[in-house]
Amino acid sequence: MTVSYRQPGVVLTDRRFTVPLDHDDPAGETIELYAREVVASDKAHQDLPWLLYLQGGPGFGANRFVGRQAWLDRALKEFRVLLLDQRGTGHSTPANRQTLPLRGGPAAQADYLTRFRADSIVRDCETIRPEVTGGAPWTVLGQSFGGFCAVHYLSTAPEGLRAAVITGGLPSLDAHADDVYRAAFPRIERKVAAHYARYPQDVERARQIAEHLLRHEPLLPNGYRLTAEAFQSLGILLGGSGGSHRLHFLLEQAFVRTPAGPALADAFQEEVQNLLSYAGHPLYALVHEAIYGQDARPTAWSAERVRAEFPRFDAAKTLAGDEPLLFTGESIHPWMFDCDPALRPLRESADLLAARTDWRPLYDRARLAANEVPVAAAVYHDDMYVDAGHSLETARAVRGLRTWVTDEFEHDGVRASGPRVLDRLLALTRDEA
């Protein structure tokens, strides 16, 4: 049953689909996908081409826009848009600490979670496309991890694509997770240095907070154990537009005076727990490194191992000297499964995923080299989350792919820019720019 309703300027329709859990076993277990169809109110009865939006992550449901926000306004000028909650996210069949025990123990849960990477997501898209478009190819807009999915789409089912538009999401075609994080930590350090250059008062504030946490390790109201390492991971904010300002305003409200001395302010704790908790997107933590698995090499908690190669990120060593504390960024670590109550029951399953040695390749170089689908990609010059060097190497490997390299935006440029990024990339796919 489909339900349609209105917001300012748009007509929305809830769509639900049933797909195989394992596409290699189409007669086996099924899961449900949810998507929201969006069309401009004045075009609701027109026969329009489709644009499929694949959200970043992994593990996040599609954006919940109100009306014609961000890039959606540009898309609705010519497309009917499908905002897909990728498997396991949003209103699709969920995968979290409450539902995963239905699979059985940690080993069964880990096996189940192997089916939540780009390969399964793209096969979901091809399964539902005939029902949505009547069989016509659609344009895909892939943001961040959604771009990884788009490149897999080009590798395995290009016949389903009219065009592909990728923002901050051109993956390396063959890098191991270790290579990804060795490239990431220097970028993160640059972002932290830029933040401190903008807000020099935050150098001492960050050190004071980290020193307090090394001594106390408080429990936040939701049960999250706030360690110095967890505090450092707030650096993920620095990869988005306005993130440096948000981090600054957070740090300046950290402490209040109490009869027992300085304490972390309730308001600070509330915002920190909201930023650090994976309750709303546990797949981000569970399969984050698995999205880089492509061969017999385990990911083996790559970010944690590689971070040890960059001792300047060690909070205890930093505080023993006089260097600024370095924040970290988009990386997942085993201690997160000890700190976060939304992840604690899943620690053993995460360990088993990290040890897997049977990952399938995600990208087909030969097919990409023969690509005939119009493709354009925004590469953000100093993207904290996705290495620009890796992205440009991949761009050269995809026949006909056109890039727009810019330092005007951070990783979330397609959202923060309004219509500009999407408009430019669509023009590139049509040789209009």
So which residues are the catalytic ones?
144, 358, 411
From CA 137, how far away is CA 202, in angstroms rounded? 50
User: Which position has the token pair 């650096």?
Assistant: 235
- CB of 307 within 8 A of CB of 331? yes
CB within 8 Å of 130: residues ≥ 6 apart: none
Tokens of 289: 């490194």
Per-position DSSP letters for 218-242, written without gaps between them: PBPTTS-B--HHHHHGGGGGGGSTT
From CA 154, how far away is CA 363, in angstroms rounded? 8
- CB of 171 within 8 A of CB of 178? no
SS3 category, 263: strand
Classify strands 255-258 and 138-143 as parallel, antiparallel or unpaired: unpaired
From CA 353, how far away is CA 254, in angstroms rounded? 36
- CB of 329 within 8 A of CB of 384? yes
From CA 179, how far away is CA 183, in angstroms rounded? 6
From CA 368, how far away is CA 172, in angstroms rounded? 13
From CA 367, how far away is CA 157, in angstroms rounded? 10
- CB of 403 within 8 A of CB of 376? yes
Tokens of 88: 């396991």
From CA 258, how far away is CA 236, in angstroms rounded? 30
